[in-house]
Copies of this chain bind each other. A is one copy, B any other.
């Protein structure tokens, strides 16, 4: 634990040295609606809302939840406390945290029907995010309070979903391996219990702490596509289960949550640090996208990658294959930063090192995106709840470029 915290502290100090201490006041401050903006494709530059949940300063490489920077939260906080912070807007007292934890623990178990459906669909063969999407949807049909759409009622659903997402993801991991799901253990932390439910074994304390840090790092990240999807769904006053199902649907895509899997496939393809240089040259020549680098928002080194890199080193050390994977990654990181970092502001993102961390814990590659969901459900729900309090349905426009008047020609004259 001390070792993990020390590595996080070192990463924080390095970040401080390399970026300015004061973040630029970019996208910070009050908004007077309507606001004039320049919009690019994919709604780039569009302002969807104001928020107090979290802030990404991409040019400085800063990530902030509710005012607290990610390095402090990774070092001092826990995933449970971070969830409380995101949902309620402040750090809890010990009593508040105890009550919140108790509620999470009490909600870990899922109804038998959810597991039965996972056994009925081809969970071992289908995309695990499709299985997760289905299981969370089933969960919603079983909750008689699902249709209550006040902020208070939806917050209770959010807590249930944070608790149960880990249980469902772990059940999917087990069923994929042909194993029976494991019941949650109420004596373990959220991260520890998640690892336990996946492996069936009490987790190593270093693994538990590193999973806790990984969950903290992935909890919220501005207006990404899955968070935005969750908010758009919730804005029709649908319900929190539907909104989170929407988030899962969106996160599934390789342009979003699916990226860290692909990093690992690339690293495996490279095979050895000595092959990196040649592989990278060829990737550049063939204009192949190098996965795990660059981000629409970050134009600096992603703070989450700063934290995950030394943790990936720590956790991969014992196994020669994982060690080689890590060394290959570091080599690729160096080359890309040197060649594209200064000029094109392309640096590793969170996906680049998270895969090595999970792999080194013995987790199957296909499960990386569901783990992302286990964490991000906290940010999805926190932002959907914040928007719900002053809700307005999302309805942008499209510009029509087709014909306005076409004469309907009967089918025998076409």
Contacts and interface: CB of A to CB of B under 8 A. Distances in A.
A101 B412 CA distance: 17
A388 to B, nearest CB: 11
A332 to B, nearest CB: 23
Contacts of A408: 68, 72-73, 76-77, 91
Interface in A60-94: 64, 66-69, 72-73, 76-77, 81, 91-94
A256 B393 contact: yes
A236 B256 contact: yes
B37 A400 contact: no
A249 interface: yes
Contacts of A72: 408
Contacts of A232: 225, 228-229, 232, 250
Interface in A231-258: 232-239, 241-243, 245-246, 248-258
A184 interface: no
A402 B255 CA distance: 29
A397 B38 CA distance: 12
B130 A137 contact: yes
A263 to B, nearest CB: 16
Interface stretch (A138-146, A282-290, A312-320): A138-146
6 contacts: A41-B390, A43-B395, A48-B396, A55-B404, A226-B236, A246-B250
Given A117-B138, A121-B141, A253-B393, 4 more contacts: A27-B397, A51-B398, A91-B411, A134-B134
